[in-house]
Amino acid sequence: MPLLDALKPTVAPWVARYRRSPVPAFLSWWRAELVRLLPPRWQDWLQDRRVAWLVELDGTELRLRRGGETEPFARLALDGDLDVLRADLQRLLGREPDPDRRLLLVMPAGQALLRNLQFPAAVEANLRQVLAFEMDRQTPFKADQVYYDQQVEPAPAGRQIRVRLAIVPRPVLDGLLERARALELPLDGADLLVEPGRVPAGFNLLPEPQRARRSDPQRRMNWILAAAAVLLAVLAMQQSLANRAQALEALRANVEQARTEARAVTALRNQLDSAVEGAGYLTERKRQTPSVLRVLADVSARLPDHTWLERMSFREGALEIAGQSDEATRLIALLQDSRTLANPAFIGQISPDARTRKERFTLSARYRLQPGADDPVAAPAQAPDKPDDAAAGSEPESGPRPEEDAADADAAAAG
């Protein structure tokens, strides 16, 4: 095949390395061990049933024997009728080539030249071309005068290889091949007999174009196994891709679920932040806004005893106070230093009360929590409102008035 012939130079180095490695021996041992584990019927089917039949053309006699046997299976005279001889061979060998039989033309080793050579391991890939080039240096013949074949002994990488070369002059082998073609023998190869066991040496001196074409069942099985391996590899890759796609979909679903949960957590966190911010705002507002009791305590501590209040109202941060005092104009100065009030000012004019002889006033202020307002309220220092003799001879102005007590008593009696 042209394609195979074109690929041979590329594949040859790899084939040489493979043969030189211990892999073939390991695979052979492994295959034998695996076959032993199979049922007997399967073992018979997988065994290599190829048998070598040896054909010897010695003078006027053709001897046919099976490989491994010393006695001929059949002896045929070559000086008889050629048609009868062909018919006898067809009865022995069959009309169609048997794929399990290899027919080898063998000749005595004395008709060939055997040489042991050494070459660098790098030439193993093109060993046959190297042998053809070195033929006239290593032998008395030229490459076009002989048929030759070689055997390579395995050697470690980097070392020289040992080559056993077998050479047969072309006239010797061509004469035997001419007689075999006349007998219509489908030869698979030509080999040498090694004495005394008379076993093939393992060469194949027959040119490749002249070799019989047989279907190799082992090769067919190898192709079937290779196709099955490729199919299984494709199925495994498809299954792997399907598993990856399924895992990707599951991962996407998990990511989407986690994203949804993250959105829910973010929403809850925003709600919590809003609630915390609102609570903080209310807490800060409550902390900055003084309580009514604190304002009352501050105002009570700052107003003098001769002042009493008739009305006090709180409305949106504004405080409005109405009452009476002996010196209403001094109240603004007393409330200036307040820690809960700011911007105290009178509303309207200060008017005297004829009945109580005090000044009636109305003032407003803003109440707020200023720095230091949480400290205990300290009563401001007050100047004496009246002379000591007046203060000693009179009751506190902030106490109950006798006139109001009397009026309340009369109203109770009338009731």
Compute the distance between CA of residue 78 and CA of residue 178 in angstroms, rounded to an integer.
13
Q: Is the pLDDT reported for residue 332 higher than 90?
A: no
pLDDT in tens, 241-287: 999 999 999 999 999 999 999 999 999 999 998 888 888 877 777 76
pTM value? 0.49
Whether residue 283 lies inside any domain: the answer is no
CA gap 12, 201 in Å, rounded:
24
Burial class (CB in 10 A: 0-12, 13-18, 19+), 86: middle
Same domain, 240 and 356: no
Query: Could you tell me if 369 and 224 lie in one domain?
Result: no
Residue 178 has pLDDT above 60, yes or no: yes
The pLDDT assigned to 111 comes to 86
Name the pLDDT band for 384 (thresholds 50, 70, 90).
very low
How far is C-alpha 294 from the geometric centre of its chain's CA atoms?
70
The verdict on 326 and 351 lying in the same domain is: yes
Do both 84 and 144 map to the same domain?
yes
259 and 119 together in one domain? no
Order of all β-strands in the sheet with 161-169: 113-119, 161-169, 146-153
Task: Tell whether the model's pLDDT for residue 231 goes beyond 90.
Answer: yes
- What crossing angle do the helices spanning 23-36 and 2-20 adopt, rounded to 10°? 90
Residue pair 167/146 in contact (Cβ under 8 Å)? The answer is yes
On whether the CB atoms of residues 72 and 92 are closer than 8 A, the answer is: no
More confident residue, 222 or 304: 304
Burial 266-305 (b: 16+ CB within 10 A, else e): eeeeeeeeeeeeeeeeeeeeeeeebeeebbeebbeebbbe
pLDDT of residue 222: 76
Place of tokens 């005068």: 145
Domain that holds residue 194: 49-215
Is the model's pLDDT at 391 over the cut of 80? no
- Residues 55-92: tens digit of each pLDDT: 888 878 888 888 777 778 888 888 878 888 888 888 87
What is the arithmetic mean of pLDDT over 195-201?
Answer: 72
CATH number (domain holding residue 128): 3.30.420.380
403, pLDDT greater than 60: no
Instruction: Check whether 2 has a pLDDT greater than 60.
Output: no
Count of the separate structural domains present in the chain: 3
> Has residue 370 got a pLDDT over 90?
no
Amino acid of residue 103: L
Domain limit, last residue, from 195, 215, 235: 215
**pLDDT tens by residue, 275-314:** 888 888 777 777 666 678 888 888 888 888 888 888 888 8
Which residue, 349, 363, 275, is CA-closest to 313? 363
Q: Are residues 86 and 164 in the same domain?
A: yes
User: CA–CA distance from 374 to each of 13, 159, 287, 289, 358 (Å)?
Assistant: 99, 102, 10, 11, 34
- Look at the alpha carbons of 42, 46, 48, 49 in this order and tell me if their dihedral is positive or negative: positive
Residue reference for tokens 């690929």: 7
What confidence score (pLDDT) does residue 396 get? 38
Query: Confidence class of residue 381 from pLDDT cuts 50, 70 and 90?
Result: very low
C-alpha angle 337-340-344 in degrees, rounded to nearest 5: 60
